[in-house]
Amino acid sequence: MSSERLPGKGRVPETRRMARVLDMLQHISAAPEHWTRRALAEKYEVGERQIQRDLDVIRYRLNLDLRRRRQGYYLKEVPRLPVVHYSLSEALSLLLAAQAGREFGVDSAELGSAIGRLESVFPPEFRPLLRELSAPPDGCTDNALEAWLLALHRALAARRKVRLAYASASREGEVQDRVVRPYCLFPKNRSWYLLAYCELRNEVRTFKADRIVEAELLPDRYRVPDDFSVQGMAGAAWGLMWGAAGEPERVRLEFSPEAGRWVAEDEWHPSQQVEVRDDGRYEVRFEVGVTPEFVRWLLWYGRDVQVLEPAWLRERVAEEHRAASQMR
């Protein structure tokens, strides 16, 4: 009886190699003259001889003019993509993604150029909408956030430390100088956040990009710990305020039918469980480390949510509502 070979199983090493080659190409393009053969070997945990073979793939199979100076490799000319034609549905999807990108701080000049190129695939009736989207938002004259995001992206690509002048929310906006090692940059709730090791506090901290006053790339290099992961940092905590989280505990909430439908549509935490009762109300359960961010999330739903347990959290939310009702 002949053995059956799984489809593509024999190509796994080659697939991994090509993925590594493309990743190398991205890093060399983003940080010219930074990556040496030894640095690439350490990053991908392979021998320098294997890295040399990968570099030969870039030169001779991809036909790219890859060169080297003492500091590292660089591309003499970054290739331009050929003209691509999209179907209407594909172009609309790209348009919506581009619009979302602008909301999260993607460089407006590059984004405007990309949106403008989409005009060739749209009927004339769509072009006013495209021109509206490619124009800068009203009152958007400060490009500081874009500059900080660009600097942080470059720091991540080159593994370079950054000196930040940062306005801390917990110290009434006091600006402090910090040297950080960027680990991860991500969008959340219409803002960008940097997860980085802070040399001032000697621990991993979360920084909101909107609070950056100045950002300067430093020549010093760093290495992200092999065991680092965003999921590992968050643990069972809710949101980004991991340091303020209590021990994980069972949380039971009851939502009105309307609010419950909204809550059930999203996954707010990996431990989330949802049950729809016969009366249409929703019971939502978490095993979570409660943070101030979680309390604010509950307060946002007002009378549409009731904390069933734990009792201390029910009282905390009630106190916040009482305090709000007494404000003038």
Note the pLDDT of residue 124. Answer: 66
Please, where are the H alpha helices in 104-173?
108-117, 127-134, 144-158
268 vs 307, which has greater pLDDT? 307
pLDDT tier for residue 251 given thresholds of 50, 70 and 90: very high
* pLDDT in the model for residue 101: 58
What stretches of the chain adopt beta strand conformation (E)?
A: 66-69, 72-75, 160-167, 175-188, 191-198, 203-208, 212-221, 249-255, 273-276, 282-288, 305-309
d(CA 293, CA 309): 18
Q: 179, 200 in Cβ contact below 8 A?
A: yes
pLDDT computed for residue 99 by the predictor: 58
Average pLDDT value for the chain: 77
| Distance of alpha carbon 271 from alpha carbon 184, whole angstroms | 23
For 256, the token pair is 């009105």
Q: Convert the pLDDT of each residue in 12-43 to its tens digit.
A: 466 677 778 888 887 888 788 889 998 998 88
Q: Indicate the range of 129-138, 144-153, 238-247 predicted with least confidence.
A: 129-138
**Is residue 279 scored above 70 in pLDDT?**
yes
Rounded Cα–Cα distance for residues 251 and 308 (Å): 8
Alpha-carbon distance of 228 to 231, in angstroms, equals 9
- Return the DSSP state at 290: -
pLDDT tens-digit profile of 176-197? 899 999 988 877 666 788 888 9
- Check residue 3 and give its pLDDT: 32
